[in-house]
Structure 1
Amino acid sequence: MATITRVMAGRYRVDDLIGRGGMAHVHRGYDLTLGREVAIKILDRELARDTAFRTRFRMEAQAASRMSHPSIVRVFDAGEDSTAEAGGTPAEPVPFIVMELVPGDLLKDIIARGPVPTADAVRYADGILEALEYSHRAGVVHRDIKPGNVKVTPNGTVKVMDFGIARAVSDSSSTVAETTQIIGTAAYFSPEQAKGEQVDARTDLYSAGIVLYEMLTGRQPFRGDSPVAVAYQHVSETPLPPSEVHDEEHSAAELERIRALDPVVLRAMAKDPFQRFPDAVSFRTALDDAVAGGVPTKKQLSSLTSELYGPSPRHAQETARTLRQLSTDTTMT
């Protein structure tokens, strides 16, 4: 039996499925006009019937198409396809995005093999921050930085992808500062995302800190039985320093290198956005200094933890509000 080949917009051949997310699936594809391999991200047909989801998907294309940086997956084209369904019935338009096809492994698959060596973890984190430095200057906050949205190529280059929930920050009325919708992944939520509050670039830096923590330790700092439970911990719990969650296979030298990074990770993960690094450049500089500098004493680390997290400055009203917000949210994956 002959295989039916799907061609979108008369130009893009859709081949093997290579990934699936909360709102779309990604296929290997081929641009018949330019003769090159591509990745094609197609909105799930059921979601395509929802105007809000289609709008969000179009925003991804618009935001990502403005990005041109070695550490960000390039977007080549976007459109809608109305391929007829079985029986010849006209189908509703399904949005799609044509992207750069990036070889390599997802960072989440690399972490699944165990803690990442410190040198590699710092290099990957620096690549993520380099991408964020560029995107933030372009006025785009990612909002969903996580290992599943980071690709590491065979030569070690980091590529950040899926700006599908990004929102453009501009001087117009449609700024991120006026948007309070919770979108993202609970394990990497910033406290302000968990509470449904306004977000800015420091939200991405918090999530990047979580990713660095996970690379160094092989586990996420906050775990629970549900997204709500995990998000609550982002709001209320103090994380252990990465060096205290080290793998038994870590050598003494590697453990010292992790200890040197403890203050950087804890600063990035501060509950209060104003206590985090103000921008990606500052975060990158702190990483460089930690690698080149000495290991903090226990007293210094304890003092920093108290400064960033305090004894327990949370209030019952805030906690109740957070739980109500998260319990009704349907976007966490």
Structure 2
Amino acid sequence: MKSNPPRAEDERTGTWSEPAKAAPRDLTGLQLGDFRVDRLIGRGGMGEVYLAEQISLRRPVALKVLLPEWVSRPAYLSRFSVEATAVAKLNHPNIVQVYALGEADGVHYIAMEYVEGANLREYLIRKGSLDIPLALSIMRQSGSAIGAAGEVGLIHRDIKPENLLLTRKGRIKVADFGLCRDTEADRVHVTQQGTTMGTPLYMSPEQAQGHALDHRSDLYSLGVTYYHMIVGEPPFRADSALALALKHVREQPVAMRVRRPDVPADLDRLVLKLMAKKAADRYQSAAEMLADLAKIRTQMSTIAGATALDLASLPTTAGAAEAADEARSLSGMEPATSRRGVDLAPLLRALRGGGASWFRPRLLAGLAVAAAAVGALAGWRARTAERAAERGRGAAAAPALGIGPRWESAPRRESAEAQYRYAWLAAPPDRLAAAWLAVPGYFPESYEWASAAYLQLGRALYRDRDLGRVVALARDVRAWRARQTRDAQLADVLDAAEALLRRDVDGVIGRLRRILESKDRPLSDPGLIDFGVEIVADALRAIDQPGATGAAAQRPDLAVLRGRLLLLRNRVLTTDLAVR
């Protein structure tokens, strides 16, 4: 087992009083029963975790030791024992195994499987939001683990990214059942109704209120964790644990597709159902959730190449090729062609990611350099008229295909939807623009998917600060099927992006104001609204840069625009949820 990082002061909450802390101790080098302690690898609120060796079997173990100040409290000593005996009931490939429970020289310990790798929180901090195939694999494995625990009456009570461990082979291990409750062991009254335990960022509404829990509380926490790893941030933020708990009780989360438009609608519905406020409205078992998840994975199985766990940047990780093979096999997808050389995954995620982290100038600058290097070898160039003729009249009618790079270099898929998902999930970073252009290039008559691809292309070009192509795309899209409202609106938003790239903040304000005040074409596409929010956020950052002029007058106008866009986005989202 790998230990969790130290918790922030307001991350964990409880209704119990903490005992006075004992003097620090170091067990390094000691022998506790059959275990020789090597070094401290983590510390939590109630215990410490050491890397140790089981002498008789000569294998590494994680030794979880209860802190001295808790040993004198019978309830917590009992809970420590319950954790070991509860998890020992389970023999599941996605749950950290318990080897032994013991006491030596007044030290109470649990010997557990040592997982070499990282936890999901560490991975998210380093890599950002996950690609969809990888997220689906993690969902399947962790859901299976929590389902197995629920079948024997165990409630984890503290599901969160820190407790999902990623092994070197790409497997998920659910850890830290330290707050678990055995619903069948009524003789052990470790937790009482009215007691709040868990982590506020991920706890269920009933858990936040201290109500009685069942396995559906764990399903809610899984939903919050899935939301975090797919979008890149938790659904709720607050300044205190109490305020955060109230949000779980009262507020509806923003749909993932608003923050990350490439999320499949069925996956969005699955996660939001896990996060229903009332337990009766959620999935009633992990098995139900896994059945729907299997359908989503089947629908996406035509996309070649699941993204492997990229743990190479983490200190304890090795075997990248092995991890890639394992992650592909677990996700049920066909392996992608091996790509050697510089790892551009972080740069790709900068373009694909959601939330406030979409604009990352340093990463985008790196992508521009990498694209230029690869382009010199691959022959990035504008598409010629002869190639347009070869592809037929339909392709020639689609706009922006000549702005480069060659969209024909992207492999053709069997449908416009599959082509779009290829661009999101499988396109190499240096060919991302070509992959987006391939959607209208190969399927010019599939208007919905072509239009959606132009939006994503526009956002990618804007983030890459490619002024020339932003202008060209706006011009071509505006002339294409002018009767289509969404494309005209995309051109208008691209005009605002162009203004900001030219450092014309007043132009941004004027263009976005006209868009919002238009009665002929009211803005209603959440992706376009989010693009506007992104531009305003970047404009606010721009006026705070040294040497910027007019900030005092511009900041209030930008703040009003941002507020109007966010309100509009929430209104569109509410309507969308009502329809669904």
Same fold by TM-score greater than 0.5 = yes
Given candidates 96, 100, 103, the residue that maps to 2:109 is 96
| Aligned pairs (5 A) from 1:159-174 | 159-170=173-184, 172=186
Given candidates 143, 146, 155, the residue that maps to 1:141 is 155
Deviation at 1:171?
A: 7.5
Show the counterpart of 1:74.
Answer: 97
Given candidates 8, 20, 38, the residue that maps to 2:43 is 20
Residue deviations 1:128-153, cap 9 Å, x none? Answer: 11001111111111111111111011
Show the counterpart of 1:275.
Answer: 281
Deviation at 1:162?
A: 0.8
Taking a change above 3 Å as real, the CA distance of residues 241 and 176 of structure 1, as seen in their structure-2 partners, is: farther
Q: TM-score, normalised by structure 1?
A: 0.79
Deviation at 1:25?
A: 1.1
Taking a change above 3 Å as real, the CA distance of residues 238 and 81 of structure 1, as seen in their structure-2 partners, is: same
Residue deviations 1:165-195, cap 9 Å, x none? Answer: 1111227566999744221111011000001
Partner secondary structure for residue 206 of structure 1 = helix
Partner secondary structure for residue 262 of structure 2 = helix
Conserved? CA contact 2:28–2:39, under 8 Å: no
Given candidates 164, 172, 183, the residue that maps to 1:150 is 164
Show the counterpart of 1:209.
Answer: 223
Taking a change above 3 Å as real, the CA distance of residues 116 and 176 of structure 1, as seen in their structure-2 partners, is: farther
Conserved? CA contact 1:212–1:265, under 8 Å: yes
Conserved? CA contact 2:47–2:64, under 8 Å: yes
Partner secondary structure for residue 188 of structure 1 = coil
Compare the two structures and name the one with the higher helix fraction: 2
Deviation at 1:293?
A: 4.9
Deviation at 1:292?
A: 4.1
Deviation at 1:22?
A: 2.0
- Of all paired residues, the percent bearing the same amino acid is 35
Given candidates 189, 210, 221, the residue that maps to 1:196 is 210
Deviation at 1:235?
A: 0.2
1:7 aligns with 2:16: no
Conserved? CA contact 2:194–2:209, under 8 Å: no
Taking a change above 3 Å as real, the CA distance of residues 162 and 19 of structure 1, as seen in their structure-2 partners, is: same
Compare the two structures and name the one with the higher strand fraction: 1
How far apart are the structure 2 equivalents of 1:125 and 1:175?
Answer: 31
Q: Residue 170 of structure 1 aligns to which amino acid in structure 2?
A: E
Partner secondary structure for residue 114 of structure 2 = coil
Given candidates 40, 57, 60, the residue that maps to 1:34 is 57
Partner secondary structure for residue 184 of structure 1 = coil
Show the counterpart of 1:322.
Answer: none
Q: Please, which runs of 5 or more residues in structure 2 have no aligned partner?
A: 1-26, 301-416, 418-524, 527-570
How far apart are the structure 1 equivalents of 2:210 and 2:288?
Answer: 26
Partner secondary structure for residue 268 of structure 2 = helix
Deviation at 1:227?
A: 1.0
Conserved? CA contact 1:23–1:47, under 8 Å: yes
Partner secondary structure for residue 201 of structure 2 = helix
1:55 aligns with 2:78: yes
Show the counterpart of 2:87.
Answer: 64
Taking a change above 3 Å as real, the CA distance of residues 306 and 236 of structure 1, as seen in their structure-2 partners, is: farther
Deviation at 1:272?
A: 0.2
Conserved? CA contact 1:176–1:200, under 8 Å: no
Conserved? CA contact 2:28–2:38, under 8 Å: no
Q: Residue 14 of structure 1 aligns to which amino acid in structure 2?
A: V
Give the number of aligned pairs: 286
Bigger shift: 44-53 or 72-81? 44-53
RMSD across aligned positions (CA): 2.7
Q: TM-score, normalised by structure 2?
A: 0.46
How far apart are the structure 2 equivalents of 1:103 and 1:4?
Answer: 19
Q: Residue 100 of structure 1 aligns to which amino acid in structure 2?
A: E
Deviation at 1:103?
A: 1.3
How far apart are the structure 2 equivalents of 1:224 and 1:188?
Answer: 12
Q: Residue 73 of structure 1 aligns to which amino acid in structure 2?
A: V
Taking a change above 3 Å as real, the CA distance of residues 165 and 276 of structure 1, as seen in their structure-2 partners, is: same
Greater RCO, CA 8 A, separation 6+: 1
Q: Residue 286 of structure 1 aligns to which amino acid in structure 2?
A: D
How far apart are the structure 1 equivalents of 2:147 and 2:255?
Answer: 25
Show the counterpart of 1:243.
Answer: 257
Conserved? CA contact 2:256–2:263, under 8 Å: no
Q: Please, which runs of 5 or more residues in structure 1 have no aligned partner?
A: 83-92, 247-254, 309-333
